[in-house]
Amino acid sequence: MIPTLYWEDDVVMILDQRKLPGKTVFMPCRDMRRVIYCIQTLATRGAPAIGVAAAMGLALAARSIRIKNKDLFMERFAEKVEVMRAARPTAVNLSWACDRILNLVAKSDLDIEGIKALIKDESQRMLDEDIEINRAMGKNGAAVVPDPAVIITHCNAGSLATGGYGTALGVVRAAHEAGKKVSVIADETRPLLQGARLTAWEMVQEGIPVKVAVDSSSGVLMSREMVDICVVGADRIAKNGDAANKIGTFNLALQAQRHNVPFYVAAPLSTVDLDTPTGEAIPIEERDPAEVTHIGGRLLAPPEADALNFAFDVTPNDLITGIITEVGVLKAPYIESLSRAKAGLISKE
């Protein structure tokens, strides 16, 4: 499996996902601004991967601060954390990673050089932990996947979107590893085609059968009983279980409800934001309209036409059959199960 991002000495190497599936190119990042550029242009993307990239970017930021006074260093570092936090709004893992690093630094009595090393080590720990969490989530999720199963997914919630292994695709991988006969329908995921480019690529690498479908085909596919289960990722799950994910996920969930197909969200507990009460309060990123009007630099629409480019939507909790996490498959009422899981009261369902 090709890594999404990793440390090479003191440089953060980020796989440029914009070039996949054609080319495997790593972007060396030597400062925080370069990491933010990768996050904002979607060179690296997916909620957990954004969190890890943020932590690595903060390690680069800390290293660049030349101040010798510890209080002033802390002040300057806190400013940089806020710049990183603002890089993309929807995936809460970014903010979660920023807080984790800030809290660690605040508690440490190390000197400035020690703190710089601590942040770098922590970012590596977050990468390693993320892979472990995804494997646990995959195992929990595989139990709800029928055998055989056609699994439909949206966007890319795979190895590329995480430290490795994936959330929704981690469930697919784990079911496949457990010997279940699974195949995948990858929604192409307009406008940036993460499904066609990335999910299909990951499944091909893994030897798991995959078919790419246009986003609007879920109705016909489900009405013909061609889908057994939906598994998607999430960028932020509100306290009541409403889940933000790539634009089009809500439409998929509505089709699933109409056709009695189970609809699961797979996400680590770091994606659960108890400070956001409902989906209405989740900030939804709006991106450049040119991403909608153009493909590969070619204009599709009349030049006079404007476009809407909401990057995410929110699936209301009542459309979600279960939330697959590292501690188990959580069920409604989510306000209870999510709070208990975040409080560490559920170690295994």
Ligand X SMILES: CSC[C@@H](O)[C@@H](O)C(=O)COP(=O)(O)O
Q: Which tokens hold the place of 69?
A: 């006074």
Secondary structure letter of residue 138 according to DSSP: H
47 in a labelled binding site: yes
88 in a labelled binding site: yes
Question: Which residues from 164-183 bind ligand X, rule CB under 6 A?
Answer: 167
Interface with ligand X, residue 163, by CB under 6 A: no
CB of 267 to ligand X, least distance (A): 7
85 in a labelled binding site: no
Question: Which residues from 95-154 bind ligand X, rule CB under 6 A?
Answer: none
Query: What is the total residue count of the chain?
Result: 349
Phi then psi for residue 298, to 5 deg, are -95, 130
Rg (CA), the chain: 20
63 in a labelled binding site: no
CB of 212 to ligand X, least distance (A): 16
Q: Is 183 helix (H, G, I), strand (E, B) or coil?
A: strand
Q: Which of 59, 157, 327, 329 binds ligand X (CB under 6 A)?
A: 157
Q: Which of 38, 119, 149, 155 binds ligand X (CB under 6 A)?
A: 155
Scanning 8-16, 156-164, 212-220, 323-331 for contacts with ligand X by CB under 6 A, the matching segment is 156-164
Q: Which of 14, 35, 38, 45 binds ligand X (CB under 6 A)?
A: 45
Between 119 and 271, whose beta carbon lies closer to ligand X? 271
Using CB under 6 A, count the residues that bind ligand X. 18
Could you tell me which of 150, 32, 147 has the C-alpha nearest to residue 101?
Answer: 32
Region of 179 please: left (phi>0), alpha (psi -120 to 50) or beta.
left
CB of 308 to ligand X, least distance (A): 16
CB of 98 to ligand X, least distance (A): 17
Q: DSSP readout, 17-41? A: GGGTTT---EEEE-SHHHHHHHHHT
Give the count of beta carbons closer than 10 Å to the beta carbon of residue 109.
7
Scanning 52-60, 114-122, 138-146, 232-240 for contacts with ligand X by CB under 6 A, the matching segment is 232-240
Give the pairing of strands 149-153 and 263-266: unpaired
CB of 91 to ligand X, least distance (A): 6
Q: Which of 32, 46, 122, 150 binds ligand X (CB under 6 A)?
A: 46
Catalytic site positions: 235
- Give the alpha-carbon dihedral of 103, 109, 112, 115, to 10 degrees: -50
348 in a labelled binding site: no
Could you tell me which of 287, 295, 278, 292 has the C-alpha nearest to residue 338?
Answer: 278
Residue with tokens 């030049």: 303
Nearest residue to ligand X by CB is: 233
> Are 323 and 317 spatial neighbours (Cβ–Cβ below 8 Å)?
no
> Are 101 and 122 spatial neighbours (Cβ–Cβ below 8 Å)?
yes
Q: Tell me, residue by residue from 63 to 102, as one string, x for binding to ligand X by CB under 6 A and - for no binding.
A: ----------------------------x-----------
Secondary structure letter of residue 315 according to DSSP: E
Q: Is 86 helix (H, G, I), strand (E, B) or coil?
A: coil
In sequence order, the β-bridge partners of residue 312 are 246
Between 194 and 317, whose beta carbon lies closer to ligand X? 194
Question: Which residues from 189-218 bind ligand X, rule CB under 6 A?
Answer: 194
Question: Which residues from 236-275 bind ligand X, rule CB under 6 A?
Answer: 245-246
Q: Tell me, residue by residue from 290 to 319, as one string, x for binding to ligand X by CB under 6 A and - for no binding.
A: ---------------------x--------
> Are 285 and 90 spatial neighbours (Cβ–Cβ below 8 Å)?
yes
Q: Which residues are annotated as a binding site?
A: 45-47, 88, 194, 245-246
Q: Which residues bind ligand X (CB under 6 A)?
A: 42, 45-48, 91, 155, 157, 161-162, 167, 194, 233-235, 245-246, 311
Q: Which residues are annotated as a binding site for substrate?
A: 45-47, 88, 194, 245-246
